[in-house]
Amino acid sequence: MNLLILHGIILFASAFVAGAINAIAGGGTLVTFPVLIWLGLDPKIANATSTVALWPGLFGGLYGYRRELENSSTLLVRLGAISVLGGAVGAWLLIATPSPTFARMVPFLILFATLLFMAQGAITRRLQLQPIAAEPRTSWWLGALVFQFCSAIYGGYFGAGNGILMLAAMGLLGLHEIHRANGIKNFLGICINSVAVLSFSLTHLVVWPDALLMAVGALLGGYFGARMAVRIGQLIVRRAIVMIGFVITFFMLWKLWG
C-alpha cells in the first residue's frame, strides 16, 4: 500500500476514534497526539494539530446530544463565556511558556477527576447535594464559573481528560443527567478550543493537510459516539468514562516515566 495512503488512513481512523471518545467522556487527544508524534511531528506541533483536528468532532457530539440540551441555554451561555476566557489563557500558556512541571501534574489531575467521578453518588449522599434547580443560587453559579475557568485553562493548554474533569464537576454541582452533562461538556469544549484553534493557526503550529483530514474523521466519530452513548444507557456510559480515565492516566504516567 502506498505510504501516503496508509498515512491518511491512520490519521483518519485515529481521529474517528478520538472524536467518539470525546463525545462520550473526553480524552481523545490521547489517541491523536501519540499518533501524530509517531508519524514524525514535533510534540508542540502535534498538540496544536490535534487540537485543531478534534475541534469539529465536538460539533458532531453536540448535534448528537441536541435533544438532551433543551432548556439549557442559560448554562450554555454563562459557562461558555467563561470557557472562552479560560481557553485563551491556556492557549497563551502553551504558546509562550510551556511548563514541564504542569505536564507532570496532568496524569494526577486526570486520576483525581476519574476517582471524583466514581465517587459522585457517595459524595452527593454524604453532602446531601440536590439536583440542579431550575434557577440555581448565586453560590452555585460562582462555584461553577470558577471551576470551569480553571478547567478551560487546562483545556486550552493540553486538554487530555478535560472532559472527565468537567463531567465530575457537573455531577458534584447537581447535574445528574449524564447525557445532558455530556452535551454541555461538548459545547464547553467547543468554546475552550475555539480560541486555541485560532491562536495555534495564527502562530503557524498546525500541519493543515493532516488537521483537515483528521477533522472529517473526528466530526463523524463525534456524532457516532454521542448517538451510541444515548442508546446504550447511563450505567454503561459511566463505566466507559471511568475506564477511559484510568487508561489515560496509565498512558500519561507511562509516557512520563517510561
pLDDT at position 220 is 92
pLDDT tens-digit readout, 158-181: 777 778 778 877 877 777 787 888
For residues 118-142, give the mean pLDDT. Answer: 66
**145-149, 157-161, 224-228, 231-235 — which is least confidently predicted?**
231-235
DSSP codes, the chain? --HHHHHHHHHHHHHHHHHHHHHHTS-THHHHHHHHHHTT--HHHHHHHHHHHHHHHHHHHHHHTGGGGTT-HHHHHHHHHHHHHHHHHHHHHHHH---HHHHHHHHHHHHHHHHHHHTHHHHHHHHTPPPPPSS--HHHHHHHHHHHHHHHHHHHHT-TTHHHHHHHHHHHTT---HHHHHHHHHHHHHHHHHHHHHHHHHTT---HHHHHHHHHHHHHHHHHHHHHHHHH-HHHHHHHHHHHHHHHHHHHHHHHH-
pLDDT at position 45 is 86
pLDDT at position 218 is 92
Residue 1: pLDDT above 80?
A: no
pLDDT at position 208 is 95
For residues 202-227, give the mean pLDDT. Answer: 91
pLDDT at position 245 is 80
pLDDT at position 234 is 64
Residue 251 sits at the vertex; the CA angle it makes with 118 and 106, to the nearest 5 degrees, is: 70
For residues 224-241, give the mean pLDDT. Answer: 75
pLDDT at position 120 is 66
For residues 7-21, give the mean pLDDT. Answer: 92
Q: Comparing 249 with 87, which gets the higher pLDDT?
A: 87
Stated pTM of the model: 0.78
pLDDT tens-digit readout, 134-151: 566 787 788 889 989 998
Kindly indicate the confidence band of residue 222, based on its pLDDT and cuts at 50, 70 and 90. Answer: confident
Average pLDDT value for the chain: 82
Residue 126: pLDDT above 80?
A: no
pLDDT tens-digit readout, 175-211: 778 788 888 888 999 999 898 899 999 989 899 999 9
Kindly indicate the confidence band of residue 231, based on its pLDDT and cuts at 50, 70 and 90. Answer: confident
For residues 97-118, give the mean pLDDT. Answer: 75
pLDDT at position 9 is 95
Residue 96: pLDDT above 60?
A: yes
For residues 233-255, give the mean pLDDT. Answer: 78
